[in-house]
Amino acid sequence: MTGNSFRKALLSQDGLSGLMFMAAAGGFAYLAQDLSLGTALRMGAGYFPLVLSGLLALIGLAILLRALASEAIAPSAIAWRGLLLVVASVLVFGLGLGRLGLGPCVGIATILSAMASGQVGWRAAIALAAGLVLFTWAVFILGLGLPIPMLGSWLS
Amino acid sequence: MDLFSNLALGLSTSLSVTNLFYCFIGALFGTLIGVLPGLGPVATIAMLLPITFGLEPVSALIMLAGIYYGAQYGGSTTAILINLPGESTSVVTAIDGYQMARKGRAGTALATAALGSFFAGTVTTLFIALFAPPLANLALQFGPPEYFALMVLGLIASITLASGSLLKALAMIILGLLLGLVGRDVYTTEARFTFGLENLSDGLQFVALAMGIYGIGEIVRNLENPEQRSVGVAKVGSLMLSREDFRRIAAPVLRGTGLGSLLGILPGGGALLSSFASYAVEKKFAKNPKEFGQGAIEGVAGPESANNAGAQSSFIPMLTLGIPSNPVMALMVGALIVHGITPGPAFINEKPDLFWGLIASMWVGNLMLVILNLPLIGIWVRLLTVPYNYLFPAIVVFSAIGVFSVNNAGADVLVMAGMGVFGYLLYKLNCEPAPLLLGFILGPMLEENLRRSMLLFRGDATQFLTRPLTASLLAIAVVSLLVVLLPGMSRKREVVFKE
């Protein structure tokens, strides 16, 4: 196997999956070191996770080896724009719902994610945001009475 | 007769005004998401789950079930009318259903799908009522070792029946099991894999995990393919079936129902596998196989009955053993646990109104769908013109609020964001997420039963192999794994799924 095709196989869908599983196994095993192991009779907190990590590492290795021996299918390109904007709008909620409140969060998140497709104009995004702010207020605060402030501690 | 008094109890529960209302809401929402491509039942149920926390458990369950089978109906409507399966279970329906629509027989195809589904739903309701109680009674005698073996078998079987790479699916299960262990260990009270974060000491929140992988991950994935939905909608035409049509669909509906009820019970089975299998079977049985793909009514009747039957009978292992067989059932377990109910063999006897109410509501809901859907088809079709670009920001907003409201914790929303990135990564690496979700739900149960078994065995694991029941359950698991791993078989398996 030449260096180039080895690299290709390593960076193929299956090669990267194998590496991902092995990395996850390593991470869990590393963290499980601090846990009590116990005995087979009385298993501690670390026993089962360590067994699972071992199994996962083995299977990950098998996936990796198989990937090196077969035709490489590279993963398709990552859609960065969509990924970043959608995740950012979720983060707005995670970090801001208490501080900014429901209204601003829905507004900001809607505009951010509406931009993700690159096919929605500014005006449409703002209109959609206004509509959703109204709708979520009516459903979640007026209707279901969720204990979320409409305007958060930073704004009121 | 027990069966009838039980069904009567179920009917009286499910016909109460409140439950009828939630059944209706569930079926309606289900159809809605079934019609809309890019939004599956898992994401929708996860999104609506928080709303159900305030309801009575029976109403919550009835509504969630309604979403699930409603989605099967909705998916077939778009499959037939515009050759765009709203759900993966309707992929095969689109083949012949759309051809029928192009020949001006869309109405007939829709009516066939509705009647076939209703018939399958009715039969499967009885099937569950007949077989769930004895199965639960059997399971009541299971000890921890049997449970452990059963869960291992369930997990293994769920991946041998799914498509895609087996090794990867196996790795996904184990990763799911590990993620399920995050949080405080109930035996030793040690915090596991929490990085010292207080928010994680109760474990990763299930709704956040499911919503991240299936909701957010899927949205990003859909954004990769720019919209192309300017399709001509076929004229619906007459909804009536001729006598000849009835004669032709009778046998496929019966076969589809039988196939679906059986395959649905199997872990990993459910609606998807049932519809594919039924199409293959009908093609074999057909007098004129060449007609398939050209608008054969059998190709609609069989799979549509099968997917509905499979969707419903997949409730059996969840309700009787507490073992979910697919991600939707995993969500149901999650919903029940939030309500303080642990599904398992004692469930039927302890909560008869809940169990039988759910069963009866499936029949009521199916009836509702037939009555509702045929007249409402026009509205559903119009819904398809809502562009995805305007739809998904709303989905993002609703799921974030939903996940937050479960514990009023922003940290859960952050978990959802992380899981969204992870879900997209899994898609890039061609790793199917369903096994991860099953593993996640079963992780803590599997560990607990293993620990109890080992105590029972005084630390001697070989006793798993000397007890007849556990040994045979584990043997079936190993054999089914080996059979699928054999090179010849794996090639055959790929062919089946490609068809």
What is the rounded CA–CA span in Å between residue B443 and residue A39?
20
Element (H, E) at B191: strand B191-192
Token readout for B16 is 């109460």
- Residues B83-88: what's their mean pLDDT? 71
**Higher-scoring residue by pLDDT: B84, B389:** B389
Question: So what's the pLDDT on residue B289?
Answer: 79
Contact B167 A66 (CB under 8 A): yes
Question: So what's the pLDDT on residue B48?
Answer: 79
Query: Which structural domain, as residue segments, surrounds residue B164?
Result: 2-498
Query: pLDDT tens-digit profile of B301-313?
Result: 999 999 889 888 8
Q: Which of B139, B157, B134 has the alpha carbon at shortest distance from B344?
A: B139
pLDDT at B47 over 50: yes
Q: Which residues of A touch B190 (CB under 8 A)?
A: 35-36, 44-45
**Higher-scoring residue by pLDDT: A144, B312:** B312
- Which of B185, B224, B227 minimises the CB distance to A119? B227
pLDDT at B482 over 50: yes
Question: So what's the pLDDT on residue B492?
Answer: 53
How many domains does chain B contain in total?
1
Radius of gyration of chain A (CA): 24
- Mention every residue, 6+ apart, whose C-beta is less than 8 A from residue B486: none
Half-sphere exposure of B67 (CA within 13 A, CB side): 24
Element (H, E) at B184: strand B183-184
- Looking at the DSSP bridge assignments, the partners of residue B191 are B184
Q: Which residues of B touch A90 (CB under 8 A)?
A: 216, 396, 400, 413, 416-417, 420
Query: pLDDT tens-digit profile of B306-337?
Result: 988 988 888 888 888 888 878 888 888 888 88
Contact B400 A78 (CB under 8 A): no
Q: Point out the least confidently predicted range of A63-72, B443-452, B477-486.
A: B477-486
Contact A128 B414 (CB under 8 A): no
What is the rounded CA–CA span in Å between residue B263 and residue B442?
21
Q: What angle do CA B258, B264, B265 make, to 5 degrees?
A: 105
Amino acid identity of A81?
R
- Residues B277-290: what's their mean pLDDT? 83
Alpha-helix residue ranges (DSSP H) falling in B228-314: 243-265, 270-285, 298-313
Instruction: Give chain A's length.
Output: 156
The DSSP call for residue A38 is B
Query: pLDDT tens-digit profile of B389-417?
Result: 888 898 899 889 888 888 888 899 999 99
Phi, psi of A112 (to 5 degrees): -60, -50
Contact B181 A94 (CB under 8 A): no
pLDDT at B349 over 90: no
Q: Can you give the pTM of this predicted structure?
A: 0.86
- Mention every residue, 6+ apart, whose C-beta is less than 8 A from residue B494: B163
What are the Cα distances from residue B321, in Å, to B318, B332, B343, B488?
A: 6, 13, 7, 34
Confidence of residue B496 (pLDDT cuts 50, 70, 90): low
Question: So what's the pLDDT on residue A40?
Answer: 86
- Under a CB-based contact definition with an 8 Å cutoff, are residues B464 and B151 in contact? no
Amino acid identity of A66?
R
Interface test with A, best of B53, B178, B426 (most A CBs within 10 A): B178
- Residues B76-103: what's their mean pLDDT? 81
Phi, psi of A35 (to 5 degrees): -95, 155
Phi, psi of A38 (to 5 degrees): 75, -165
Question: So what's the pLDDT on residue B436?
Answer: 92
Confidence of residue B70 (pLDDT cuts 50, 70, 90): confident
Provide the shortest C-alpha distance from residue B406 to chain A (in Å). Answer: 10
Residue A142 at interface with chain B, using a CB cutoff of 8 Å: no
Question: So what's the pLDDT on residue A65?
Answer: 94
Question: So what's the pLDDT on residue B163?
Answer: 65
Express as a percent the part of chain B with pLDDT over 70: 93
**Rounded to an integer, what is the distance from CA B204 to the centroid of its chain?**
22
Question: So what's the pLDDT on residue B415?
Answer: 94
Q: Which residues of B touch A16 (CB under 8 A)?
A: 429
- Under a CB-based contact definition with an 8 Å cutoff, are residues B403 and B205 in contact? yes
Ranked by mean pLDDT, the top range of B75-79, B80-84, B206-210, B488-492 is B206-210
What are the Cα distances from residue B488, in Å, to A59, B81, B179, B492, B494?
A: 21, 39, 34, 7, 10
- Residues B348-372: what's their mean pLDDT? 86
pLDDT at B499 over 50: no
Express as a percent the part of chain B with pLDDT over 90: 18
Question: So what's the pLDDT on residue B33?
Answer: 80
Provide the shortest C-alpha distance from residue B114 to chain A (in Å). Answer: 32
Q: Which of B212, B383, B391, B414 has the alpha carbon at shortest distance from A116?
A: B391
The DSSP call for residue B11 is H
Taking only residues 29 to 88 of chain A, the set having a beta carbon closer than 8 angstroms to any beta carbon of chain B reads: 31-32, 35-36, 38-46, 48-49, 52-53, 55-56, 59-60, 62-63, 66, 73, 75-76, 78-79, 81-83, 86-87
Query: pLDDT tens-digit profile of B136-195?
Result: 888 888 889 998 998 898 888 878 766 678 899 999 999 999 999 999 888 888 899 988
What is the rounded CA–CA span in Å between residue B78 and residue B39?
13
Alpha-helix residue ranges (DSSP H) falling in A1-155: 3-10, 13-32, 47-69, 80-96, 102-114, 122-136
Query: pLDDT tens-digit profile of A8-23?
Result: 888 999 999 999 999 9
Q: Which of B56, B37, B41, B58 has the alpha carbon at shortest distance from B360?
A: B58
